[in-house]
Amino acid sequence: MVLTGRTPARRWLAVAVTALTCSMAVSAAGCTGDGRDGFRPGAADAGDPYVPGRGNGGYDVKNYKLDVRYDPPTDRLTGRATITATATQDLSRFNLDLAGLQVNAVTVDGTRAEHRRADDELVVTPPEGLPRGRPFTVAVDYAGVPTAVTDGELGSGGFLHTADGAVALGQPDSAATWFPVNDHPSDKASYELAVTVPDGLSALSNGVPGPRSSAGGWTTWRWSERTPMASYLSTLVIGDYRVVTGTHAGQPMVTAVAASLPATGGAARSLARTGEIADFLATRFGPYPFDSYGGIVVADDRVGYALETQSRPVYGPAFFTGDRPNLGVVVHELAHQWFGDSVSLSKWGDIWLNEGFASYAEWLWEEHDGGRTAQRNFELQYAATDWSQPSVEPGRERMFGTAVYKRGALAVHALRRTVGDDAFFRILRTWTTERAAGSATTSDLVELAERVADRQLRPLFDAWLVGGAAPTLP
């Protein structure tokens, strides 16, 4: 995530009270399906204070298969989500996050299931309990006018209706505005998407493009992301775009720039460097972790940020206001493919693991490209840092603050200076290899770094990430 420039407390309390009540008394009123031979409801919240009410417990999603149709003139979306999951407890019922859209039918393993809405939750009660370890498939038919997220930490996100289509993206949440989902990065899954739009419009998403088909004035675009993906990294961009399809390193490369932006301007010239930048980062971080490359530049000014949507980052128009390329933002979002996308967060309080490494990648690229050295950027940022603000557990209001990005980058370089280049880059490559396609915490990184470097490093991380005073330079 790069910036250019909540859930209400009452709802969070209601969700928490419901979850606590159901866990204390499985036969309590309001806990439909409880008390069946020890089966109990999955949690209605992932328990992450940065995204209260988001995420759910009791199951682990393996795959989302989404078949959606969007009509821009009416702003109406119709869809079927087929979700393959495994119960992680003896499960009497479970929740999915879904904002605003109307649910018409739900089945579990092909049999009609009871369902109801509770604010932005879809509560599903299968005909019989799901034993722990059992795979199951839930299909949800839904429709309606998707909603935007206007009170997010970044501004507008979610499903944004545009003049020629729509843009669906945002952090820390957005997916629940256009499909039912376990909306927390700790539950990653593969994705398959078929999206049908009026002929002449593009429908862009994550992963490898599939065959397109047309009938009756509508075109269906297909995409698949086989590597597990956090839900907030999913995207859907519909509209009039100049799409360039090719290959890089033997894998599909798809870039797209809104047709209303200059054809040879800074946006197109920046995306044209995607493969080159990814190759450079691979020399530092290890092999590129996905089956496709690309990027999308939208024209909607409400998107005042760039987001590392998996395999195909989305960039707001403000990054490309002139003819010159903006390679820094491309470096940042591509670095996230390793740090944040392949190795994702277990909890949002560790967001520096995403942003600190991506910010440090900008320093590496600048040095590689003939600009300031990483050491010089480190010195300048060290002098400018407010050490009262922590990188770890920054608080929801500061989860996209300078301490997360720049102090996080300082900690990365301090690690490099302490252990030396050889051990430092072995730490990075070991991290991206051992944790690939999974989730992790700051403690996981510290433990791995100590193992690879064969020395104690926790005091170093504590001083550079959370200490209240400027650390001693290593």
User: Taking the domains of the chain in order of start, what are their residue ranges?
Assistant: 59-235, 240-322, 343-465
Distance separating alpha carbons of residues 150 and 158, to the nearest angstrom? 8
Looking at the domain 240-322, which fold is it?
Zincin-like (3.30.2010)
Query: What pLDDT, on the 0 to 100 scale, is given for residue 13?
Result: 34
Query: What pLDDT, on the 0 to 100 scale, is given for residue 1?
Result: 76
Distance separating alpha carbons of residues 326 and 470, to the nearest angstrom? 32
Say if residues 21 and 30 touch (Cβ distance below 8 Å). Answer: yes
SS3 at position 458: helix
Burial zone of 422 (CB within 10 Å; 0-12 exposed, 13-18 middle, 19+ buried)? exposed
Nearest Cα neighbor of 114 from 95, 87, 98 is 95
Residue whose structure tokens are 């490559």: 429
- Chain centre distance of CA 223: 17
Query: What pLDDT, on the 0 to 100 scale, is given for residue 37?
Result: 77
CA dist list (Å): 260 to 61, 93, 198, 299, 303: 38, 47, 19, 7, 15
Query: What pLDDT, on the 0 to 100 scale, is given for residue 2?
Result: 78
Distance separating alpha carbons of residues 52 and 19, to the nearest angstrom? 12
Distance separating alpha carbons of residues 134 and 89, to the nearest angstrom? 9
59-235 sits in which CATH class?
mainly beta
> 80-97 in b/e burial notation, b at 16+ Cβ within 10 A?
bbebebebebbbbbbbbb
The tokens describing 147, both together, are: 């909603």
Tell me how crowded residue 214 is: count the other CB atoms within 10 A of its CB: 10
**Distance between start and end Cα atoms, the chain:** 29
Same fold for the pair 240-322 and 343-465: no
Residue whose structure tokens are 């009410």: 53
Radius of gyration of the chain (CA): 22
CATH of domain 343-465: 1.10.390.10
The secondary element (H helix, E strand) that includes residue 62 is strand 59-71
Query: What pLDDT, on the 0 to 100 scale, is given for residue 34?
Result: 53
Query: What pLDDT, on the 0 to 100 scale, is given for residue 368?
Result: 98
Query: What pLDDT, on the 0 to 100 scale, is given for residue 44?
Result: 96
Distance separating alpha carbons of residues 470 and 465, to the nearest angstrom? 10
- Chain centre distance of CA 144: 24
The tokens describing 274, both together, are: 């995607």
Burial zone of 389 (CB within 10 Å; 0-12 exposed, 13-18 middle, 19+ buried)? middle
The tokens describing 307, both together, are: 């987001």
The secondary element (H helix, E strand) that includes residue 204 is strand 202-204
The secondary element (H helix, E strand) that includes residue 83 is strand 76-87
Digit-by-digit pLDDT tens for the chain (474 residues) are 776 653 333 333 333 333 433 433 333 333 444 555 789 999 999 999 999 999 999 999 999 999 999 999 999 999 999 999 999 999 999 999 999 999 999 999 999 999 999 999 999 999 999 999 999 999 999 999 998 987 666 667 899 999 999 999 999 989 999 999 999 999 999 999 999 999 999 999 999 999 999 999 999 999 999 999 999 999 999 999 999 999 999 999 999 999 999 999 999 999 999 999 999 999 999 999 999 999 999 999 999 999 999 999 999 999 999 888 999 999 999 999 999 999 999 999 999 999 999 999 999 999 999 999 999 999 999 999 999 999 999 999 999 999 999 999 999 999 999 999 999 999 999 999 999 999 999 999 999 999 999 999 999 999 999 999 999 998
